[in-house]
Structure 1
Amino acid sequence: MALTVSRLLFMRKKELDKLSNKFDENVFDATKKFEKLITNKKEIEGLPATALGLAAQTAVSKGHENATLENGPWMITLDAPSFNSIVRHAQNRALREEIYHAYVTRASSGDTNNSLIIDQILKLRLEQAKLLGYNNYAEVSMAMKMATVDKAEELLEKLRSASWDAAVQDMEDLKHFAKSQGAKEYDDLRPWDIAFWSGRLRESKYDISVEELRPYFSLPNVMEGLFNLARTLFEIEIEAADGLAPVWNSDVRFYCVKDSSGNPIAYFYFDPYSRPSEKRGGAWMDGVVGRSRVMSRDGASARLPIAHIVCNQTPPVGNKPSLMTFREVETVFHEFGHALQHMLTKQDESLVAGIRGIETDATELPSKFMENWCYHRQVCLELFLIEL
């Protein structure tokens, strides 16, 4: 009987892995497939220069060789930098709605329809849970985590009850502001309106826009500030090591991490920019190889860990460096926190070194720790001073 259950579990896992891969492929293909060429600048009024430059650069890559920031044409995609610029800045409400709908309905029709795949994944997950003696897949997921289903639901309810009144008030403030600006939709704000009007309200309150901060958050500045922080906190030095290892794209950088004595202790790849034609959305970190004495070449010193950090931030436009939003800065700090846990381990058994063998919710602790430094006054000041 035990052998039969084990066999069934293996088959379910194999099917789930296959379905999950197909789900991701469909989302990627649907995202890549969408393109909207705009030739009339009035249609994209409100977009900042960085967004227009990126849209023109994308148009050039799609065969519109004469596209320029000023005169277009401009290519809009569902890649994060392009999508976010539209829903946050485009004054054209119909365009915001079109792009929003295209984004949230990706892989829901045609050859990339994920609907049946979702149904099958849910069915197999429930079967898997029952075979393991659990009531549902949530309990299976929590079995190897610090939290429990009950505690997670309790926390969600605490957050909901504590934030509800403030959220309602925020929405009322947003409606009032939209009305004061003559917006016809003020009493019926939809999902494609929230980011746009929230940005305008924030600008009116603080007399500064998110876009005005971008020059202070150029990628070289951010990385210098991040490495300075790592030096202060962990007494490590991070140096560029381009050419020491092969890379999969010319934008990818390779770095060496050294201890206070100058000895290499780890390496990592950093792939920062979005590439809609070959790269799925989001940001992630994972291990290339883990620290291991068994797998070392000489059997004496441990094999050093190597990580990769992959993001999808705004790419450079022309000869300018990547100018990041604050959220993109947060993302880099977050993923670097994951990488630090992988790279700074002193455990020589690779199966439990770094991020291996740790509850998946526990792995978010170092990433959130690093991310929260973005809000630290001294760290922010240093980033600004690097630019100034």
Structure 2
Amino acid sequence: MPLDLLHKGHENATADAGPWLITLDAPSYLPVMQHAKNRALREEFYRAYLSRASSGELDNTAIIDQILKLRLEKAKLLGYRNYAEVSMATKMATVETADELLEKLRSASWAPAVQDIEDLKSFAKDQGAAEADSLTHWDITFWSERLRESKYDINEEELRPYFSLPKVMDGLFGLAKTLFGIDVAPADGVAPVWNSDVRFYCIKDSSGNPTAYFYFDPYSRPSEKRDGAWMDEVFSRSRVMAQKGSSVRLPVAQMVCNQTPPVGDKPSLMTFREVETVFHEFGHALQHMLTKEDEGLVAGIRNIEWDAVELPSQFMENWCYHRGREPSPEPLLRHNGLLVATA
């Protein structure tokens, strides 16, 4: 749930009894929207979240307007009608095919979405909710979670004990070994890190030879870390940049997430979405690290169409679910229809 005030210096704060500092970062914001019974509190959080950087000293409105103006100017100078065409020039899709896909999704999902809202209203009314006939943005997540609990007798929070970070990472690395024949070994201390929570790992081939390295920075740190999750390169694989005595410089990646930090001596307990995110980012990292290309400018994720670069990450995400045949030996345990990492 919300981050406690221990790190903010509140002398009486405890993890169990609070008081807590609830930020607009996802590990705090999302649980509030899912579970806070106080509708006014949910509205306050929703409006605050949607209006970030839109007023006061941090108002970015004028900057956004300027960016849009300059993007259109750039497109015209390059002979395009708009910036969307500039963006799509380096992707597999085109503006027309993207529009076509969006319309297919809209037309296919409209009727089910309308029915979902009606089901939600009916459920809220059955529960005696005053807002049942006027559900709005700050109600949908809360009542969706209650409906899911009612249907399946489980909520996302109750899945957390099955997804402790060490078990998830063991399952992920076991899966990588099964699929790609690689071993992921801790390499803490081999390279400097920017925070004590950051881990450093070595990728080894079937002969035990190092082929790549990566940093993993898993936890939310609102004071110094932006929202979301991402993978990026530290070094690309490169023959030209190899050190003396080496034939190639090995690739190094970074995986950064914003999941719930551990409390006390307990490990970080992840939501299923956070599990998906780790698998997703590791897919990106694998494309960067498992490349055999020695020319740095085209190695790994470099010079890949920016929609095509999502294919490895989506591939890895699919292993979080029970979809068809599972790898053997199984690095994951099926639980309630999900593939849950085991120690």
Whichever residue aligns with residue 202 of structure 1, its letter is: R
TM-score, structure 2 as length reference = 0.95
Could you tell me which residue of structure 2 aligns to residue 136 of structure 1?
82
TM-score, structure 1 as length reference = 0.84
- 8 A contact 1:293–1:299 mirrored in 2: no
- 8 A contact 2:168–2:340 mirrored in 1: no
Over 3 Å counting, the alpha-carbon distance change for 1:292 and 1:158 in structure 2 is same
For residue 190 of structure 1, report the CA deviation from its aligned partner. 1.1
- 8 A contact 1:288–1:306 mirrored in 2: yes
Secondary structure of 1:106's counterpart equals: coil
Could you tell me which residue of structure 2 aligns to residue 362 of structure 1?
308
Could you tell me which residue of structure 2 aligns to residue 198 of structure 1?
144
- 8 A contact 2:181–2:205 mirrored in 1: yes
Residue deviations 1:82-134, cap 9 Å, x none? 00110011001111111111111000001100110111011000000000000
Secondary structure of 1:187's counterpart equals: helix
Q: For the residues of structure 2 that align with 1:114 and 1:63, how far apart are their CA atoms?
A: 30
Secondary structure of 1:152's counterpart equals: helix
Over 3 Å counting, the alpha-carbon distance change for 1:384 and 1:149 in structure 2 is closer
Match of 1:250 among 191, 196, 204: 196
Where does structure 2 lack aligned partners over 5 or more consecutive residues? 327-331
Could you tell me which residue of structure 2 aligns to residue 60 of structure 1?
6
- 8 A contact 1:268–1:306 mirrored in 2: yes
Could you tell me which residue of structure 2 aligns to residue 288 of structure 1?
234
Could you tell me which residue of structure 2 aligns to residue 29 of structure 1?
none
Whichever residue aligns with residue 237 of structure 1, its letter is: D
Where does structure 1 lack aligned partners over 5 or more consecutive residues? 1-50
Could you tell me which residue of structure 1 aligns to residue 334 of structure 2?
381
Residue deviations 1:134-170, cap 9 Å, x none? 0000000000100000000000000010111111100
Q: Does 1:84 align with 2:30?
A: yes
Secondary structure of 1:108's counterpart equals: coil
For residue 62 of structure 1, report the CA deviation from its aligned partner. 1.5
For residue 65 of structure 1, report the CA deviation from its aligned partner. 2.3
Could you tell me which residue of structure 2 aligns to residue 164 of structure 1?
110
Q: For the residues of structure 1 that align with 2:66 and 2:289, how far apart are their CA atoms?
A: 38
- 8 A contact 2:163–2:341 mirrored in 1: no
The number of residue pairs the alignment matches comes to 333
Could you tell me which residue of structure 2 aligns to residue 348 of structure 1?
294
Q: Does 1:215 align with 2:161?
A: yes
Secondary structure of 1:84's counterpart equals: helix
> What's the RMSD between the two structures over aligned residues?
1.3
Match of 2:211 among 265, 275, 288: 265
- 8 A contact 2:15–2:263 mirrored in 1: no
Work out the percentage of aligned pairs sharing the same amino acid. 74
Q: Does 1:118 align with 2:64?
A: yes
For residue 206 of structure 1, report the CA deviation from its aligned partner. 0.4
Secondary structure of 2:244's counterpart equals: coil
Match of 1:228 among 152, 160, 174: 174
Whichever residue aligns with residue 186 of structure 2, its letter is: A
Q: For the residues of structure 2 that align with 1:311 and 1:385, how far apart are their CA atoms?
A: 18
For residue 236 of structure 1, report the CA deviation from its aligned partner. 0.3
Whichever residue aligns with residue 296 of structure 1, its letter is: A
Over 3 Å counting, the alpha-carbon distance change for 1:201 and 1:295 in structure 2 is same
Q: For the residues of structure 1 that align with 2:341 and 2:248, how far apart are their CA atoms?
A: 39
- 8 A contact 1:290–1:305 mirrored in 2: yes
Could you tell me which residue of structure 1 aligns to residue 329 of structure 2?
none
More displaced 10-residue stretch of structure 1: 195-204 or 291-300: 291-300
More displaced 10-residue stretch of structure 1: 138-147 or 299-308: 299-308
Match of 1:97 among 40, 43, 48: 43
Q: For the residues of structure 1 that align with 2:341 and 2:53, how far apart are their CA atoms?
A: 44
Over 3 Å counting, the alpha-carbon distance change for 1:372 and 1:264 in structure 2 is same
Q: For the residues of structure 2 that align with 1:76 and 1:371, how far apart are their CA atoms?
A: 30
Q: Does 1:304 align with 2:250?
A: yes
Q: For the residues of structure 1 that align with 2:102 and 2:51, how far apart are their CA atoms?
A: 26
Over 3 Å counting, the alpha-carbon distance change for 1:70 and 1:311 in structure 2 is closer
Secondary structure of 2:212's counterpart equals: strand
- 8 A contact 2:168–2:341 mirrored in 1: no
Secondary structure of 1:74's counterpart equals: coil
For residue 319 of structure 1, report the CA deviation from its aligned partner. 1.3
Whichever residue aligns with residue 41 of structure 2, its letter is: L
Secondary structure of 1:111's counterpart equals: helix
Q: For the residues of structure 2 that align with 1:192 and 1:225, how far apart are their CA atoms?
A: 35
For residue 72 of structure 1, report the CA deviation from its aligned partner. 2.2
Whichever residue aligns with residue 227 of structure 1, its letter is: F
Over 3 Å counting, the alpha-carbon distance change for 1:265 and 1:200 in structure 2 is same
- 8 A contact 1:254–1:269 mirrored in 2: yes
